[in-house]
Amino acid sequence: MSGAEFSKLGAWEDRPRRNPSADLTTAQLDSRRAFLLTRLDGVASISDIVAISGMIERDALAALSALVEQDLVQIVPATGRRTPIAIEAAPMPVAVAEPVAPPEDDEEEDEPLSERPGEPAPVMERVDFLPDFHGVARDDVHWLRAKGDLGHVPGMPWQRLGTDRYGKFEFDRRALLRPCDLTVAQRREVLFLEANAGQLDHFEYFNMEPTADRTEWRRAYFRFSRQFHPDTFFRKNTGEFGGMVESIYRRGTRIHDAFSTDQELRDRYLRAVQARDAAYRGALEAARERYEQAKRDIEARREAQRVADRQRVAARRKSALRERLANNTRARREVHNPANERVERAQRFYEDGMQQYRDEKFIEAAASLQLAMTYDPRNEAYRQAYEKVSERAHAIKADQLWKFGYMQESVARIDEAIDSYLEAVKLSPRPSYCVHVAEMMLSMDRDLHRAAELARIASDADPRNVEYLLLLGKIYERVGLTVKAATVLERALKLAPKDERIKKAQKGLKR
């Protein structure tokens, strides 16, 4: 069945988000649509939303499509590969447990596979709360805490991926409509800063990029003053916003005065915010990894169930096959046939490999199935089983190599660590693996062309990751590929136009 009836939703990778201009107070919503609307954060894809909704796939897509028709939800197309929505997919081919001969005319038909309810889909954890100073070095925490609210660093950044400055904040519509001389934009900014001052770091409060540069702080305060200085509202009716504007201006002036004169405060605060942001991204990545692991575990259990069902269905055929094999064995004892011996050996390795797979010994299973293919290379069932098992085996082997490399790196055996990391990347080219090895090779000035290839693999997997693009640009610059470096840095600058690191790297290329 095609997904034409859900064409308004686009592709599985697209991101639904709430329409900020829609009036939810007048919308007619049933319980399903209302629940689904609360799960839209502008970051999760349509695939993720369907997975965490707890609904049947068709019902979740229908509810989401209805929200789009009501203009309550907007769909943001994803970049890169996009998979059209289809609510039924072809079943994954499963290797036959054993090659069997066709049944005789007088054999009974196989009984159907047992019907079992599906296992509930895993739900991805939401990182909605982290304590203040999360991820910040202990020395910086003690120093900044002594500064009171001037050194306060919230545990999470306010603005999340795919959201604007105001993010999840819900404005009081009545306050926005009350009579006064402030524009709607000014009212929104005042309400936002007044309500969330304690949840914003100072860079977010001034709507500036994190930096310790005193000049940038001065420019940010100049913009802030033009918005909130008392002279801006001279002889204007500010209504109930007047007190809030004065409070915001006093707070901003106090922060600016402290940061403009205290270099150590600027340096420590910048370091703390950057560490907090890195820890937050790590928490998101860990939640994603647990979610993916849960999906892999469910698929492994489903595969084990499918194998068990097929074994049950094939029970009578196995019995007949054993009888025929016994007769063939007796015949081969009388007439020696090397080809039959190879087929029998392949069958034994196949049976050992499938048992090891059921016991979750994936590396041993892959080795046994590879031997089965070696002795009987024309058997398609052996090849399909090996392809399926080898993917799991490679992932496990890659994890082992990565851990070993990490141990070598921790004792300063950098060459051995890089060699182990590269072996892990060959088996499982995860973006995080590729970036870590590329950074080490860049710092050691070792095989930079290979480092560029690894950074490019990570960037292709996550084309909107500015850190990956910046690393790739640095490597290209180091090996003298200035044109490629300039192209990569230009892409990064489009994604983060205020990132000073990118601008500095571009200036270095021009020199």
Q: Where are the alpha helices (DSSP H) in 229-361?
A: 241-261, 263-313, 315-334, 338-358
Q: Is the pLDDT of residue 252 over 90?
A: yes
pLDDT at 112: 46
Give the pLDDT confidence of 447-481 residue by residue, as tens digits.
Answer: 888 888 888 888 888 888 888 888 888 888 888 88
Q: Is the pLDDT of residue 401 over 60?
A: yes
Return the percentage of the chain with pLDDT > 70, whole number.
90
Of the ranges 29-38, 257-266, 307-316, 333-342, the best mean pLDDT one: 257-266
- Taking the CB of residue 511, how many other CB atoms lie within 10 A of it? 4
Q: How, if at all, do strands 15-18 and 73-76 pair?
A: antiparallel
pLDDT at 36: 79
Return the percentage of the chain with pLDDT > 90, whole number.
21
The closest alpha carbon to 201, from 229, 159, 169, belongs to 159
Domains belonging to the chain, first-starting first, are 4-76 (1.10.10), 140-283 (no CATH), 314-394 (no CATH), 429-510 (1.25.40.10)
Residues in CB range of 277: below 8 A, 6 or more apart: 157, 210
The closest alpha carbon to 458, from 446, 448, 470, belongs to 470
**C-alpha span between 125 and 130 (Å, rounded):** 13
What number is the average pLDDT over the span 160-166? Answer: 76
Identity of the residue numbered 14: D
pLDDT at 87: 59
Q: Is the pLDDT of residue 28 over 80?
A: no
pLDDT at 118: 64
Q: Which residues of 441-450 are buried (b: 16+ CB within 10 A; e: fewer)?
A: bbeeeeebeb
Q: Who wins on pLDDT, 332 or 172?
A: 172
Residues in CB range of 10: below 8 A, 6 or more apart: 46, 75, 77, 82, 85
- Angle, helices 500-510/466-478, rounded to nearest 10 degrees: 20
What number is the average pLDDT over the span 106-117? Answer: 46
Give the pLDDT confidence of 328-371 residue by residue, as tens digits.
Answer: 777 766 555 677 778 888 888 888 888 888 887 777 888 888 88
pLDDT at 263: 93
Q: Is the pLDDT of residue 284 over 80?
A: yes
Give the pLDDT confidence of 58-86 residue by residue, as tens digits.
Answer: 888 888 888 888 888 888 888 877 888 86
**C-alpha span between 413 and 417 (Å, rounded):** 6
**pTM for the full model?**
0.41
Q: Who wins on pLDDT, 261 or 112?
A: 261
The closest alpha carbon to 423, from 412, 411, 408, 443, belongs to 408
Q: Is the pLDDT of residue 114 over 70?
A: no
pLDDT band at 133; cut points 50, 70, 90:
very high
Q: Which residue has the tokens 């200085």?
A: 229
Identity of the residue numbered 175: A
Identity of the residue numbered 17: R
DSSP 8-state symbol, 469: H
CA angle 404, 408, 414 (to 5 degrees): 130
